[in-house]
């Protein structure tokens, strides 16, 4: 009788356990001012111009969660964030307390030397649009869209901007304080805000998107530096 009761107790306890497969979810969210970014919306910049994003993608790599002991634990090697179609990075982290998230915007020398043909089209490093075949290097960030001087530039006076940012000299290191705890029985969600407006008007400087509207990094390196440094500083 005692053996039966013990077996019954263990069975009930086992049924109550709800371990999750992946207990950590990291996401990036676009914001403009205090509002969530809306695809297809026109937004004002610091120059009194209006812009609409058509592409806003960037590589995040060597993503780490730093625990309370100061140990960095890998979350993901590389991901390609797409503002127009955001997805989460879902992994299983050791349970415990964490204090920060570290990552790079762009790719280090080893990742930048990858061959995109060795990856699937749906993998971050397999995206052929983010690869300069002539330079055999990746485009770290691709920010493109329309810009004009009126509230609805679709009507008239529409210009375009193309900021294709690459080369290892533009690699940006980002470290954000984040206090969170992971467990075995629930998914901990951590969100990183990307302040879109600050990419064009940030700590490195404001950008006249009508005149300083094109860089492929190699041709206008100073403009490329301003944009990608603003992007790094726009993370919160």
pLDDT digits (tens, 9 = 90+) for 14-52: 455 688 999 999 999 999 999 999 999 999 999 999 999
Bigger pLDDT: 11 or 142?
Answer: 142
- State how far the Cα of 68 lies from the Cα of 70, in Å rounded to an integer: 5
pLDDT for 156 equals 60
pLDDT at 27: 97
Alpha-carbon span 73 to 88, nearest angstrom:
18
Give the whole-angstrom CA distance, residue 90 versus residue 206: 35
Chain mean pLDDT for the chain: 91
Closest Cα partner for 97 from 174, 193, 178, 19?
Answer: 178
Q: 131-132 and 96-105: which strand pairing?
A: unpaired
In this prediction, residues 152-181 reach a mean pLDDT of: 90
Write the secondary structure of the chain as one string of H (helix), E (strand) and C (coil).
CHHHHHHHHHHHHHHHCCCCCCCEEEEEEEEECCEECCCCCCEECCCCCEEEEEEEEEEEEEEEEEECCCCEEEEEEEEEEECCCCCCEEECCCCEEEEEEEEEECCCHHHHCCCHHHCCCCCHHHCHHHEECCCCEEEEEEEEEEEECCCCCCCCCCEEEEEEEECHHHCEEEEEEEEEEECCCCCEEEEEEEEHHHHHEECCEECCCCCCCEECCCCCHHHHHHHHHHHHHCEC
Q: Could you give the dihedral angle defined by the CA atoms of residues 192, 197, 200 and 202, in that order, rounded to the nearest 10 degrees?
A: -70
**Mean pLDDT calculated for residue range 163-192:** 97
**C-alpha distances in angstroms, 159 versus 65, 92, 144, 156, 173?**
41, 45, 11, 9, 32
pLDDT at 214 over 50: yes
Query: Taking the complete model, does pTM exceed 0.75, yes or no?
Result: yes
pLDDT of amino acid 149:
87
Q: 12 pLDDT exceeds 90? A: no
Residues 199-226, mean pLDDT to the nearest whole number? 93
Instruction: Tell me: pLDDT of 10 over 50.
Output: no
Q: What is the pLDDT of residue 154?
A: 66
Instruction: Quote the CA–CA distance of 166 and 177 in Å, as a whole number.
Output: 27
Rounded CA separation 223/221 (Å): 5
pLDDT at position 207 is 96
């Amino acid at each position: 009788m005692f053996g039966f009761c013990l077996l019954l107790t263990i069975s009930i306890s086992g049924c109550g356990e709800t371990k999750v497969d992946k207990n950590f979810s990291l996401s990036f969210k676009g914001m403009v001012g205090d509002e969530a970014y809306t695809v297809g919306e026109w937004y004002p910049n610091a120059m009194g111009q209006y812009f609409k994003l058509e592409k806003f993608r960037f590589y995040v790599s060597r993503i780490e969660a730093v625990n309370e002991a100061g140990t960095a634990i890998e979350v993901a090697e590389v991901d390609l964030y797409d503002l127009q179609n955001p997805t989460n990075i879902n992994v299983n982290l050791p349970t415990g307390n964490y204090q920060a998230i570290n990552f790079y915007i762009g790719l280090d020398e080893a990742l930048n030397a990858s061959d995109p043909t060795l990856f699937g089209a749906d993998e971050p490093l397999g995206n052929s649009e983010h690869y300069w075949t002539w330079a055999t290097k990746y485009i770290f960030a691709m920010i493109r869209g329309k810009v004009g001087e009126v509230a609805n530039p679709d009507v008239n006076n529409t210009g375009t901007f193309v900021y294709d940012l690459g080369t290892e000299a533009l690699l940006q290191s980002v470290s954000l304080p984040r206090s969170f705890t992971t467990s075995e029985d629930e998914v901990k969600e951590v969100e990183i805000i990307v302040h879109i407006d600050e990419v064009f008007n940030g700590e490195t400087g404001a950008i006249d998107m009508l005149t300083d509207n094109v860089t492929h990094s190699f041709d206008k390196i100073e403009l490329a530096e301003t944009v990608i440094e603003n992007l790094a500083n726009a993370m919160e």
